[in-house]
Amino acid sequence: MKTITKNLLAFSIGLIALTIAFRFSLSTMLQNRLFGSVWIVATIYGILIFIIGWIFGKKEKMNLPLYDIGFRFHLATYIICNLIAEIWHLIGLQSEYENVRILHLTVIYWGIGLLIHFIIYLVTRKNAIKGIEKSEIFE
Amino acid sequence: MSTNNQMSELLSAWEETYKKGQLTLWVFLSLKDGKKCVDEIKSFVEEQSNQTMTCKSQSLYRNLRKCQHVGIVDFETGEGNKGPERKYYFLTELGLELLNSFIERNINLFFSKQIKNLILSED
């Protein structure tokens, strides 16, 4: 099955840019003790991720409706968000109010969610031929 | 509502449902006729179906991409009439076998004597 597509790549590049911008804003705000305003940046970040996911996910379906119940986009999001966050801490760009333990816990709990998503995908993909749902091939 | 109106609406409703499943057959028939680019497939389908089937190029591209992905259609690039290279689609061996099996199981029924008589009878 074709897994890395043009739309997935475009989504990943957008997500990398957004995540770096988010990490930078978050650390800067926390360092300046703007604790009450952090939720605004986090909300904007979440909304923008949703929008680019929506746009490229829809394009992906129009181009070739690969049956993966969103797993490839979820996996890309998991890798990019967690990798950037971990690297951010590793090279010491975090604020003094950020706790690396929270990041590690996020990787674990989100990883469990991702694993469940993968299992559901494996169970339901029987309805697909070469990655396209049977009912969609001749639609 | 007059009987004529009702008849016309019922016919449209039936045709709309019926045509939805017909496009693949028409596209495959056009490819059985020979390699074609999307514009040629579109023309073939519309002409050969006496304009009862219409299709947008975008939908055709999408359908052909799916068929190519599952291995029943493939393409080769060739020069178009007016400049840029075009994709010329054709049925693969699997695609041709699939079309023939489909015709045998679903279309040839209409050529049996009994069914043919029923279709042609006026009553």
pLDDT for A83: 96
- Would you state the structure tokens that stand for residue A62, as one six-digit string? 């129009």
Fold of B22-120: Arc Repressor Mutant, subunit A (1.10.10)
pLDDT at A14: 97
CA distance B97 to A132: 20
Model confidence pLDDT, tens digit, residues A21-75:
999 999 999 999 898 889 999 999 999 999 999 999 999 888 888 888 789 999 9
Residue A91 φ/ψ, nearest 5 degrees: -95, 10
Buried b (16+ CB within 10 A) or exposed e, B8-47: eeeeeeeeeeeeeeebbbbbbbbbeeeebbbebbbebbee
Domain positions in chain A are 6-137
Contact pairs from chain A to chain B, CB under 8 Å: 24
Our CA dihedral for A39, A45, A49, A50, rounded to 10 degrees, sits at 40
Would the pLDDT of A1 be above 70?
no
Distance CA B61, CA A100 (A): 49
- The answer to whether the Cβ–Cβ distance between B67 and A137 falls below 8 Å is yes
Instruction: Determine the pLDDT at residue A81.
Output: 96
Which pLDDT score is estimated for A127?
80
Sign of CA dihedral A64, A66, A72, A73: positive
Q: What is the pLDDT along chain B (123 residues), one digit of tens a residue?
A: 678 889 999 998 988 888 888 889 999 999 999 999 999 999 999 999 998 888 889 889 999 999 999 999 999 998 766 677 889 999 999 999 999 999 999 999 988 899 989 988 876
The answer to whether A64 contacts B67, with C-beta atoms less than 8 Å apart, is no
3-state secondary structure of B50: coil
Chain A: residue nearest B28 by CA? Answer: A138
Distance from CA of B121 to the nearest CA of A (A): 33
Residues of B with Cβ-Cβ distance to A134 under 8 angstroms:
none
This model of the complex carries an ipTM of 0.73
C-beta separation of B85 from B79 below 8 A: yes
Q: What is the DSSP string of chain A?
A: ---S-HHHHHHHHHHHHHHHHHHHHHHHHHHTT-GGGHHHHHHHHHHHHHHHHHHHHHHHHHH--B-STTHHHHHHHHHHHHHHHHHHHHTT-S-TT--HHHHHHHHHHHHHHHHHHHHHHHHHGGGEETTEEHHHHT-
User: What is the mean predicted confidence (pLDDT) over A122-134?
Assistant: 85
Q: Residue B75: its pLDDT value, please?
A: 95
Domain definitions of chain B by residue range: 22-120
CB of B116 within 8 Å of any CB in chain A?
no
Cβ within 8 Å, pair A132-B67? no
Residue B1 is given by DSSP the state -
Distance from CA of A1 to the nearest CA of B (A): 9
Instruction: Measure the CA–CA gap between A56 and A11, rounded to whole angstroms.
Output: 6
CB contact under 8 A, B70 and A129: yes
Angle at B56 between CA B8 and CA B50, to 5 degrees: 50
Q: d(Cα A22, Cα A137) in Å, to the nearest integer?
A: 40
With an 8 Å Cβ cutoff, are A132 and B65 in contact?
A: no
Cross-chain Cβ contact B65/A63 below 8 Å? yes
Q: Which residues in chain A are contacts of B65 at CB distance < 8 A?
A: 63-64
Residues 25 through 84 of chain B touching chain A, CB cutoff 8 Å: 62-63, 65-67, 69-71
Residues of chain B positioned with their CB less than 8 A from the CB of A137: 66-67, 70
A85 burial level (CB within 10 Å; 0-12, 13-18, 19+): buried
Contact, A49 vs A18, CB < 8 A? Answer: yes
